[in-house]
């Protein structure tokens, strides 16, 4: 990618501004001064501009502990979005959706293929939720979840439910339809009062992340998710 384009994408100024900064000799690529705005930067190049350091990366992958009050979108006129929580210059988007009041594990990336592989209904990737609810848990519910729950317009793929206490449980589902866990619970006369995603595929939420905090996925985690 051209150096001026990279810097403009990285919000170091408009394309015009960054061209001036480059011409003035204020940009280093791997510690060498570069004054050619069309210089080609490649993966892992280290760019220094106004004492700020940037590493060139095509794809980025984050794990966020989503807080309540944020919507799973890139831009919105009324609500704060999960993308606003991440300090990154790439055009990142959430991998699937969590409701505004749902908390917990959410991946964000700019890699469309990675996102597709994790969210396509055909891939059957398990998502596990910790759920608090109002209502009476009954033993047959486990069999009902295993069979799939019939909702208004579709029957879910087989899922599972595991009691923790009188008013909490884990639910695992394969798809990620709108309000799916809440609707499955409602179909069994249980009202969800708190919902937290604790795992996605084989990756568990890093419990050292407080709500609103995030970190990059490790290479190992990315490889596990890509399998
Ligand atoms: N199911 C829901 O009902 N809500 C979510 O945010 C995720 C799964």
Pocket of ligand 1 (CB under 6 A): 98-99, 102, 179-182, 195
For residue 221, the number of C-alpha atoms closer than 13 Å in the C-beta half-sphere is 15
pLDDT in tens, 136-155: 999 999 999 999 999 998 99
User: Do the beta carbons of residue 190 and residue 149 sit within 8 Å?
Assistant: no
For residue 112, what pLDDT band results from cuts at 50, 70 and 90?
very high
The DSSP line for 166-192 is TTEEEEEES---TTHHHHHHHHTT-EE
Catalytic position from the list 88, 99, 101, 206:
99
Residue 80 has pLDDT above 90, yes or no: yes
Active-site annotation holds for 99: yes
Provide the whole-model pTM.
0.90
Q: Which atom of ligand 1 is least distant from the CA of 182?
A: 3
Average pLDDT, the chain: 95
**Nearest CA, atom 4, ligand 1:** 179
Token pair listed for 44: 């892992």
Is residue 32 exposed (0-12), middle (13-18) or buried (19+ Cβ within 10 Å)?
A: exposed
What is the predicted pLDDT for the residue at 50?
Answer: 83
Mean of the pLDDT values across residues 55-71? 96
Residue 189 has pLDDT above 90, yes or no: yes
CA of 192 to the centre of ligand 1 (A): 10
Mean of the pLDDT values across residues 103-117? 97
Residue 176 has pLDDT above 90, yes or no: no
Mean of the pLDDT values across residues 171-196? 96
């Amino acid at each position: 990618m051209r150096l001026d384009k990279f810097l403009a994408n990285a919000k170091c100024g408009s394309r015009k501004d960054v061209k001036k900064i480059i011409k003035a000799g204020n940009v280093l690529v791997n510690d060498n001064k570069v004054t050619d705005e069309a210089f080609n930067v490649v993966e892992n190049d280290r760019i220094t501009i106004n004492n700020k350091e940037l590493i060139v990366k095509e794809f980025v992958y984050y794990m966020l502990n989503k807080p309540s009050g944020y919507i799973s979108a890139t831009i919105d006129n009324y609500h704060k979005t999960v993308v606003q929580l991440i300090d990154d210059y790439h055009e990142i988007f959430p991998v699937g959706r969590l409701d505004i009041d749902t908390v917990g594990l959410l991946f964000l990336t700019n890699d469309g293929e990675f996102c597709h592989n994790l969210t396509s209904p055909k891939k059957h990737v398990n998502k596990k939720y910790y759920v608090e609810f109002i209502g009476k848990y009954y033993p047959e519910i486990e069999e009902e979840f295993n069979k799939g729950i019939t909702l208004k317009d579709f029957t879910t793929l087989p899922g599972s439910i595991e009691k923790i206490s009188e008013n909490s449980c884990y639910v695992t589902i394969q798809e990620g339809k709108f309000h799916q866990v809440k609707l499955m619970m409602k179909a069994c006369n249980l009202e969800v009062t708190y919902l937290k995603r604790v795992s996605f595929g084989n990756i568990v939420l890093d419990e050292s992340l407080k709500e609103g905090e995030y970190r990059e996925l490790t290479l190992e985690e990315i490889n596990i998710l890509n399998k």
